[in-house]
Chain A
Amino acid sequence: MKAKEIIKNIIDDFDRSCAAVTSSEEWNEVRVRFLGKKSAVTALMKQLKEASPEEKKALGKAINDTKAYMERCLEEKKKEAGRDEQKKLPDWSLPGRGQIPGKVHPLTTVRCQMEDIFIRMGFDIKQGPEMETAWHCFDALNIPETHPSRDEQDTFYLNKKNMVLRTHTSPVQIRTMLEQKPPIYMIAPGRVYRNDVLDASHSPVFHQVEALAVDEKITFGDLKGVIYAFLTELFGPQVKTRFDNSFFPFTEPSAEVYMSCFCGGKGCSVCKGSGWLEIGGAGMVDPEVFRAVNIDPERWSGFAFGFGLERMAMLMYGVPDIRYFYENDLRMLKTI
């Protein structure tokens, strides 16, 4: 066979083999086969010795060109194969990279959800001091020293005359009504204190979210409507409300607010079989309160209601014990 044909065959064979290479092992096999000591090209080189000087020159060039061609192809192939090898598939079971972000406390999450709904309704957020005067906390709210309801507040007294730790966020209502003229639509989320036992459902420090609306035509129907709109937004459209008569010195008429339990009224351990969850107090602002802040009760009327933040969060997340919120076990903070 003529050397020219042999070279053509070698190149054809090489092209086919090279194209089929998929791994570095195969690549190496092809390299050894076509460029190694026992390769066809090496065999051709041996023939070269026997060739005539003219043939030698032409054949030598052809062999060198062939070798160069094959080396070039293999180099290309190596780069290509190398690229693919670098693109190893990731291990999907490994975690993502980067700092795992922290979380806000569940009470903050729930408070923000509540605030968000009220803000969208048109309520402002107001704040006030926790070390409060007895006047703002009680007297202005129609809870005079002379009335037994004052004792029911379970007040913590401070070592400064007439100063208490606020037992509710209602003094913020008083401060707001003293500061600005109606119409007033505000909520007061905040920390409050009660000298009460510490157990699964009572904490001496807890939070309330209170709402107050004072306008020219506020009715008990509005109170019911706002609470209903709020609760269905927070807990879902299936929620029903119930209002029972109650007594708070700062509202008249007053109501205890209930919401249908998540069990759908069948009765469960959360609602203790009743199908209803007590979630807060409500009522129409008592004229005595308006008088204390120089608002004319003949012109303005208003409603106020308050919910316990912890109670809401316990219901929302199924937290069985109020104390968990103040223990701050990271396992809870990470999960909720």
Chain B
Amino acid sequence: MKVTWKWLNEFVDLKGLDIESLEGRLASQGLHIEEIFRPGEEIRDVYIGYITKIEPHPDADRLKVCSVNMGERGVLQIVTAALNVQADVYVPVAVHGAVLSGGLKIKRTKLRGVVSEGMFCSLQELGLAEHSDGICLMTDLPEPVAGDPAHPYFSLDDTVIDFEITSNRADCLSVYGIAREVAMAAGRSLIKPLIEVRESDIPVERCIDVELREKEKCLRYTARVIQGVTVKPSPLKIRARLGLVGLRGINNIVDATNYVMWEYGLPLHGFDRNEIRGEKIIVRTAGSEESFVTLAGQQLKLSPDDLVIADTKQGIALAGVIGGGNSEISEQTKDVVLEAALFDPVSIRMTAKKHNQKTDSSYRFERGMDFDLASVSSLRAAELIAQWSGGSVCKGVAERRNEAFQPHRIVPLRLSQVSRHLGVSLNEEEVRDIFARLEYHVEKKTEGTLLLTVPSNRYWDISREIDLIEEVARFYGYDKIPESLPQMTMKKGRSDKKSLFKEKAEKHLLSNGFYEVYLYPLISEELVKKSGYEPGQVPRVTNPLNREMEYMTPEPLLGLLKAAELNMKRGMKEIRLYEWGKGYPSPDCEEEILSFLCTGDAPKTVFSQGYELGFYDTKAVFEGLLGELLPGNIEKRASRRSLWAPETGFVYLINNEKIFETGRLRDELTGFFDLRHDVWGGYGHVGILASQVRAGRSFVPFSIYPPVYYDLAFVTDSALPAGALAEEIISEGGSLLENCRLFDLYEGKTLPRGKKSLAFALTFRSQERTLTEKEIDAIIQRIINRAKKKFQAELR
């Protein structure tokens, strides 16, 4: 909500203050300033000029050469292309060195060989309109002085303050309402300006009749009539002020209603009286399928939920939302019917929402307008219309209202509740004083309870005791309320299996060099399909930010591919990532998933050879994870998921429930993300994994006797898994074999084709005694025999 400093000063005398000095106090009252803008600091060197002569340009039909009297600044020659340029008018002139809205710099230049010493400005170039047709001709000003700075003529010497108004403070959607808060912050009093309207002898009832049929949806309807208006642009100063606060000048009648809406908050509407059939305004609900054309030319199908303003034949406005094209103010309008009404917020909101007609008017009405505002707003608008259009205001107001509606709520406040909620004790005097300053009527009901009459401007916001307590806090000052800590009762502390699991899992991920990432769980339809899901089954956002973020991801691992791609593109070579994410395979399922992947190369270092990241790097992680689970029937099967390249995917299960999958991602997926290396990854179901995590292990007694070491190397078929041979060794080694470690794997020239060498380092130790060589030799021989028998493995 933009207001200007000078406009505020019409309602509160702020002499000696500036907005910056009030900013902190206003913020604590709940009025936050979003921006303070001084147009005069941006726009420089624009002066008033008087065009004395216009001559054609010798070389261009489109251009004209003007002589401009700049008073003390002499006479300038300005070449212009403006179509509306004319002699004997005052115009704003940007001279050499001037700066206009948006930082546009003006310089002396030659246009088709003719020197131009400046530029005529439009309202747009002065930052006062979004769009202007032609330059600004200052025809309606009493007598500008050539050579004067243009700023005061265009309100450019004013300060624009943009307030952020929370949705409960409809009373602050106006200059007057903000002035009320500013007055409070500044400790000054609010001025209620005198509104002077000279009414004619013609009673309003002779021109218009009002029938209010819907008293729940329309609490008050007032109409005034202004006759004999001349519709034309409003005064330049007004257009400039409207421009400063972001409103568009249309004509003097519409501008007057907008000006008053900005000033007092209540949206007003002007109808062309001659277009109202039967000289009657009927406030009624729409018929089913009733059609209505807005003044923007949009055709709407109404229903009985919608409130319309109608004449005896048809709807002329969608009440409180938008006017109708059929009764709009036009240049031909002679008599104006001025509506000032109060509509029910919910009704307006639902209608505006249903028909997608969010207007300045519906914005205000749905937040709740002040019942009492109708009279003052109507009077003020009549004053301005009469002033700007030369019309005469009919005598009186045609008004209908819901008599049962009481705009001044009475709410009781128990003083004990103030301290209960705020933690600070205020006595009755202090509370009374705050409410008196806020224009509440205060009465004592019983000892410790006050009865407060809420001002009508806060009707929609303040209806409960707690709302009153907030008012007390707001004006007592949040900052004065002393800090304390709650008096808590101790309770049972509970440990959490999931966080235990996460901690353990994270240890394995981090120690293996994986980095945690955070991803958007939103993906495109294409990616949903690529991941093997039906888009129809996956939860979809109906109003996505863009197509790339339309579906909830059923497969968080895919998000990691995107992060891998970004890092690859930026030159990173060694990529290990993990995410604690969620999978959303259906609208009823949202599951915590731990995903991880690795791709690229681990570089060569002084201590180790470089290698391509792959299966063994992911295995390091899931081996660690599985090791944290309760020992038992973990089962491993080949995975059939299309996520994995053929024969690379494996799934681990506990009690037939999948806990974990891993594999190499299918080339089609990695190719989609422009990843050229193999990508190995996996994901785990956090919930089930966490339920299987083992908190601790039991102590295993260890031997104090010396170990005996023995190395054994076997030549076996290449296809034989090392683990199979190790299992046989361990089984044959029996209880004396403490450790069996594969320390070398060799395939190469010194071995026959299809053979490999596996070398194991064995550690033997007894729990009871020192072992003898003889004992060990016997075991070794048995191992050798078994390896030979089982796998035809030969000692190397």
In the bound complex, CA of A287 to CA of B421 (Å): 11
Report A-chain residues with C-beta under 8 Å of the C-beta of B423. 219-222
Whether A307 sits at the interface, judged by CB under 8 Å, is: no
Within 8 A of B (CB), among A294-329: 301, 325-329
Q: Residue-by-residue, is B548-578 near A (CB-CB < 8 Å gives 1, otherwise 0)?
A: 0100100000000001001100101001111
CB-based nearest A residue for B30: A245
Nearest-neighbour CB distance to chain B for A192, whole angstroms, equals 12
0/1 interface trace, chain A 221-259, chain B, CB 8 Å (1 if under): 110111011000000000000111111000011111000
A52 at the interface (CB under 8 A from B): no
A160-B587 contact, Cβ under 8 Å, with A165-B541, A253-B473? yes
CB of B346 closer than 8 Å to a CB of A: yes
Looking at the complex, which one of A159, A217, A327 makes contact with B542 (CB distance below 8 Å)? A159
Candidates B424, B509, B543, B572; contact of A102 at CB < 8 Å: B509
Q: Which of B334-388 contact A (CB under 8 A)?
A: 345-346, 349-350, 363, 366-367
| Chain B residues near A220 (CB-CB < 8 A) | 421-424, 473, 478, 481
**A157-B167 contact in complex given A242-B479, A244-B30, C-beta closer than 8 Å:** no
Q: In the complex, what residues of A have CB within 8 A of residue B363's CB?
A: 148
The answer on a CB contact under 8 Å between B590 and A129 is: yes
A333 to B570, CA, bound (A): 14
Chain B residue nearest in CB terms to A185: B488
The reply on A330 being an interface residue by CB < 8 A is: yes
Whether B542 pairs with A328 at a CB distance below 8 angstroms is: no
- Whether B32 pairs with A131 at a CB distance below 8 angstroms is no
Chain A, Cβ-Cβ closest to B620: A99
Query: In this complex, what residue of B is CB-closest to A222?
Result: B486
Interface contact A224-B481, CB-CB below 8 Å: yes
Known: A204-B545, A328-B563. A159 touches B539 (CB 8 A): yes
Q: Identify A252's interface contact among B167, B466, B494, CB under 8 A.
A: B466
Q: Is A183 an interface residue (CB 8 A)?
A: yes
| B518 proximity list for chain A (CB < 8 A) | 105, 107, 325-326, 328
Contact A158 B520 (CB under 8 A): no
From B30, B488, B506, B540, A122 is in contact (CB under 8 Å) with B488
| Residue A38 CB within 8 A of the other chain | no
Q: Is A330 within 8 A of B575, CB to CB?
A: yes
B511 is an interface residue with CB less than 8 A from chain A: yes
A210 CB within 8 Å of chain B: no
Shortest Cβ distance from residue A99 to the other chain B in the assembled complex, whole angstroms: 5
Bound: A333/B514 CA distance, A:
11
Closest to A157 in B: B542
Assess the A222–B349 pair: CB atoms within 8 A.
no
Q: Does B483 contact A (CB under 8 A)?
A: yes
Say whether B544 contacts A252, CB under 8 Å.
no
**Which residues in chain B, 728-775, are within 8 Å of chain A measured between CB atoms?**
none
**Smallest CB separation, A92 vs chain B (Å):** 13
Q: What chain A residues lie within 8 Å of B494 (beta carbons)?
A: 124
Q: Contact between A131 and B539 (Cβ–Cβ < 8 Å)?
A: yes
B789 interface residue, CB < 8 Å from A? no
Residues of A within 8 A of B540 (CB): 158-159
Does B484 interact with chain A (Cβ within 8 Å)?
A: yes
Q: What's the least CB distance linking B617 to chain A, in Å?
A: 10
Indicate if the CB atoms of A253 and B584 lie closer than 8 Å.
no
The answer to whether B169 has its CB under 8 Å from any CB of chain A is yes
Asked if A49 is an interface residue, CB under 8 A from chain B, the answer is no
Given contacts A204-B545, A252-B467, contact A301 B421 (CB under 8 A): yes
Distance between Cα atoms of A104 and B515 in the complex (Å): 6
Least Cβ distance of B161 to chain A in Å? Answer: 15
- Knowing A219-B420, A244-B478, A330-B567, say if A183 contacts B488 (CB, 8 Å): yes
Residue A2 is within 8 A (CB to CB) of chain B in the complex? no
Cβ-based interface call for A89 (8 A) = no
Minimum C-beta distance from A316 to chain B (A): 15
Inter-chain contact A328/B517, CB cutoff 8 Å: yes
| Contact A327 B566, beta carbon cutoff 8 Å | yes
Interface pair A103/B485, CB less than 8 Å apart: no
Near A by CB (< 8 A), chain B positions 457-486 give: 464, 466-467, 469-470, 473-474, 478-479, 481-486
A328 & B29 in contact (Cβ 8 Å cutoff): no
Instruction: Give chain A residues whose Cβ lies under 8 Å from the Cβ of B464.
Output: 252, 287
CB distance from A122 to the nearest CB of B (A): 5
Chain B residues with Cβ under 8 A from A163's Cβ? 539, 587
Known: A129-B590, A220-B473. A204 touches B567 (CB 8 A): no
Which chain B residues lie closer than 8 Å to A226 at the CB level? 485-486
B512 at the interface (CB under 8 A from A): yes
B27 within 8 A of A: yes
Interface pairs (19), CB distance under 8 Å: A101-B512, A102-B510, A102-B512, A102-B513, A104-B506, A107-B518, A130-B590, A131-B539, A148-B363, A148-B366, A158-B542, A183-B488, A191-B521, A220-B423, A221-B483, A222-B486, A224-B484, A252-B464, A287-B464
The 7 closest A-B pairs by CB, nearest first: A219-B423, A221-B423, A245-B30, A247-B166, A253-B470, A225-B483, A243-B478
User: Which A residues fall within an 8 A CB radius of B?
Assistant: 94-95, 97, 99-105, 107-108, 122, 124-125, 129-131, 146-149, 152, 156-160, 163, 165, 183, 185, 191, 195, 198, 204-205, 213, 215, 217-222, 224-226, 228-229, 242-247, 252-256, 284, 286-287, 301, 325-331, 333-334
Known: A157-B541, A219-B423. 6 other contacts (CB 8 A): A107-B518, A148-B366, A159-B540, A215-B488, A243-B479, A247-B30
Binding site for A on B (CB under 8 A): 27-30, 32, 166-169, 345-346, 349-350, 363, 366-367, 419-424, 464, 466-467, 469-470, 473-474, 478-479, 481-491, 494, 496, 499, 506, 509-522, 539-545, 549, 552, 563, 566-567, 570, 572, 575-578, 582, 584, 587, 590, 605-607
